[in-house]
Structure 1
Amino acid sequence: MIKMQQTMRWYGPHDTIKLRDIRQCGVEGIVTALHQIPVGEVWEVKDIMERQQTIRDQGLEWTVIESLPVHEDIKRKRGNYKQYILNYGKSLENLAQCGLKVVTYNFMPVLDWVRTEHEHINSDGTKALLFDETAFTYFDVFLLKRSGAEADYTKEKLEEASAYGNALDENEKQRLFKNVLLGLPGSTENFTREKVLELLEDYKGVNDGELRKNLIYFLTEIVPVAEKLGVKLAIHPDDPPFSVLGLPRVVSTESDLEQLFNAVPSRANGLCYCTGSLGARPSNDLLQIIDQHGDRIHFLHLRNVKRDNDKQFRESEHLNGDNPMEAIMEQLLLLMQRRGVSIPMRPDHGFLHSFEGTKEQYPGYSLMGRLKGLAEIRGLERGISYKINRNG
């Protein structure tokens, strides 16, 4: 029976988690990117090959690109967007020349994933990522002070946010501000209040419809290049899957996926199936997404979330959350048998365990937490594979 290709994310030479540590987890591949190259510039063959060799020297293989970032000019379809699209295509050519054929990206304006708490303490003492709408509203309206932000919230939500903020001391306010604007590991982006407000100003007049048109335009230019090269593009869903800071979001719902794939029907226009991002929106049917778009799933992020109420969700144990992981795993395994392919998978976002608490760890990417998630997913896959084989 075809198994998932087990991988783990690595953020490059400056990552506190070393390749030797990841290899000891028993994974088969590495998911990484050339974070040192500014967004929009071409990834040259020599740089790609150098990173490949670094990974091979540790007995591993670079199997998935995460991510080849899309320049903000492309998302806005302004400025130098045509040149950046040409650069993107050239990077795809260079990656394909080096044998790398799965490329993940996202189309979220300004910020990637957003959380309000990076060290939420679970009942057992582990720490997890959490998003709280009230805390975020307070950040948006009272800390960032985004122009016109009040209009995006009801009177009741503004009152809740104000009361929430009044209970914080200055250190807690600073921590909330830092949590929301924390970039990805490997990134050198320094998000200050002034920088974020400047970037938000650049998106004035860009609504969901406009952003979707720009995404489709980008794909109509890039997907033929990917097809010719045998490259599979895998768009990552919005995280969280709803608007933040008044910004448009167009990869949040089943309807979003349907519109995107209907507009650019090539199988090279695919999906990074992230159960955490899609599952944070209760109306998304994760099993139905596999049914409808299984042929476009080129990469898997398997994690779970717990929605404590309609204002908050948090990362949960990989097998214990609101997402039906057993049913998801069975459907994915059957999908791989039908397609005859092994889809690369990585465990996404683990808990920070107290054993690692004194070490420098990026929220969600501690080694022990991800290894625990990997072990749980690996065991679930083995058990369900046995069930499928036994039942014929």
Structure 2
Amino acid sequence: MEMVFRWFGEENDHVKLEHIRQIPGVKGIVWSLHHVAAGERWSIEEIKAEQQKIESHGLHIEVVESVNIHEDIKLGLPTRDQYIEHYIETMQELAKVGVKVICYNFMPVFDWIRTDLKKELEDGSTALFYEKQLIEGIEPTELVNRVLQDSSFTLPGWEPERLEQLKEILAAYKEVNEDKLWENLKYFLEAVVPAAETCGIKLAIHPDDPPWPVFGLPRIIVNEENLGRLLGLVDSPSNGLTFCSGSLGANPTNDLPAIIRTYGDRIHFAHVRNLKRYENGDFIETSHKMSEGSVDMVGVMKAFRDIGYTGYIRPDHGRDIWGEVGRPGYGLYDRALGVMYLWGLWDALKSTGGEENA
């Protein structure tokens, strides 16, 4: 496997590239141009500027997360074709500098949903928390105001330009059910996958987070069956998956090791983290250690070992620990601990008979 680490840029991240470089085994940065609005082209000048910053620290830029999809594409509006063309042009520019994988999602409006960015755990650390009952009784705009006040950083998937028109966008989705969203995703993939094949890019869709409908919005990338349906929309290696143990693992019916073994050849990127599920539907993110949460972390990493996975993998959301103040879920310390836990599992599984892929 190729260990990588997400970074949000010099202007919007307290974590430094020189610190990421010191985490054993991390080879690359998962990056994006976060200031560019969804649907806009990425300029080659800005791409190369980010490339220079990252590569100057001995880290590669082969994974982008993400090139956001404009809401008009998800809604299936007539304007979608111009945004799809922008997407293709951006892919082509990224391929020129050596990008190999683009992680993206097709979640309506919100890329992810949490109710508290700083829920305290028993050890005094804080983490991202989802409270089911609160979600069922709160208006979307009220939730946005509640969540954003807990972060001094912009939050991917909650960009200001998107949320400024929240009521209008939510109203537009009243005409979009799951079947229509599948149609719109197919239309997008039929346009962009051939272009991705030509320029050597692998697209890797991220599962919906959480993997069930929220605020009446359809969610479709939620389970093993739907992952298979997604891959069948356009049957190409360039139409692939981002496996996320946290997103898929929020639903206890998802068998994560089985998903890896079934679709391993189409998993181009992996986010591996833990969370603790509660019987009432709540969940909270924990340390990566298996005993701290509900995800079969050993089973997940064994499945990756068993299929001979050589793709990209990163620790995902971490807690805020040791007094670190930064982007919720994306501190340096707990994610660095996560890297070492994943390497520990990987090396231990290798020593018990797995093939050498590190």
Superposition pairs for residues 254-333 of structure 1, below 5 Å?
254-320=224-290, 321-333=293-305
Is the 1:12–1:186 Cα contact (8 Å) retained in structure 2? no
Q: Distance in 1 between matches of 2:210 and 2:337?
A: 24
- Are residue 236 (structure 1) and residue 235 (structure 2) matched? no
Write the deviation string for residues 72-126 of structure 1: whole angstroms up to 9, x where unpaired: 1111110410011111111111111111110110001111111011111111111
Per-residue CA distance 1:13-38 (angstroms, 9 max, x = gap):
21111111211223110001011222
Closer, same or farther in 2 for the Cα pair 1:261/1:314, shift >3 Å? same
SS at match of 2:160: coil
- 1:5 counterpart (2, 7, 13): 2
Q: Give the alignment's Cα RMSD to 1 decimal.
A: 2.3
Residue aligning to 1:152: none
Matched position secondary structure for 1:379: helix
Provide the residue aligned with 1:334 in structure 2.
Answer: 306
What is the rounded CA distance, in whole Å, between the counterparts of 1:317 and 1:232 in structure 2?
30
Match of 2:168 in 1: 198
- Identify the residue that residue 349 of structure 1 maps to in structure 2: 317
Please say if residues 118 and 150 of structure 2, whose CA atoms lie closer than 8 Å, have aligned partners that are also in contact: no
User: In structure 1, how many angstroms separate the alpha carbons of the residues matched to 2:165 and 2:224?
Assistant: 32
Which residue number corresponds to residue 218 of structure 2? 248
Q: Distance in 2 between matches of 1:47 and 1:111?
A: 26
Q: Partners of 1:33 and 1:69 in 2: how far apart?
A: 9
Aligned positions of 1:1-392 closer than 5 A? 4-14=1-11, 15-26=13-24, 27-140=26-139, 143=142, 175=146, 178=149, 184-185=155-156, 188-189=159-160, 195-320=165-290, 321-336=293-308, 342-356=310-324, 359=325, 361-389=326-354
Q: Is residue 112–residue 183 contact of structure 1 (8 Å, CA) maintained in 2?
A: no
Residue 230 of structure 1 deviates from its aligned partner by 1.6
SS at match of 2:308: helix
Runs of 5+ unmatched residues, structure 2: none
Task: Check whether the contact 1:304–1:318 (CA below 8 A) recurs between aligned residues.
Answer: yes
Aligned residue pairs, count: 351
Q: What per-residue deviation string (whole Å, max 9, x for no partner) do you get for residues 129-150 of structure 1? A: 1101111122238947xxxxxx
1:389 offset after TM fit, Å? 4.5
The percent identity for this pair of structures is: 41
C-alpha distance in 1, partners of 2:157/2:179? Answer: 32
Give 1:379's aligned amino acid: G
Provide closer, same or farther for how the CA distance between residues 233 and 178 of structure 1 changes in structure 2, counting only shifts above 3 A.
Answer: same
Q: Distance in 1 between matches of 2:327 and 2:16?
A: 13
| Higher-Rg member (1/2) | 1
Question: In the TM superposition, what whole-angstrom CA distance separates every residue of 1:329-352 from its partner, at most 9, and x where no partner exists?
Answer: 111022226xxxx21111000111
Offset at 1:372?
Answer: 1.2
In 2, are the aligned partners of 1:301 and 1:347 still within 8 Å (CA)? yes
Partner SS state of residue 118, structure 1: strand
SS in 2 for 1:355: coil
Q: TM-score, normalized by length of structure 1?
A: 0.84
Contact 2:305 2:355 in 1 (8 A): no
Distance 1:248 1:382, change over 3 A: same
Closer/same/farther in 2, CA of residues 363 and 189 from structure 1, 3 Å limit: same
Per-residue CA deviation, residues 146-167 of structure 1 (Å, 9 max, x unaligned), is: xxxxxxxxxxxxxxxxxxxxxx
Gaps of at least 5 residues in structure 1 are 145-172
**Residue type at the aligned position of 1:33:** S
Amino acid aligned to 2:316:
D
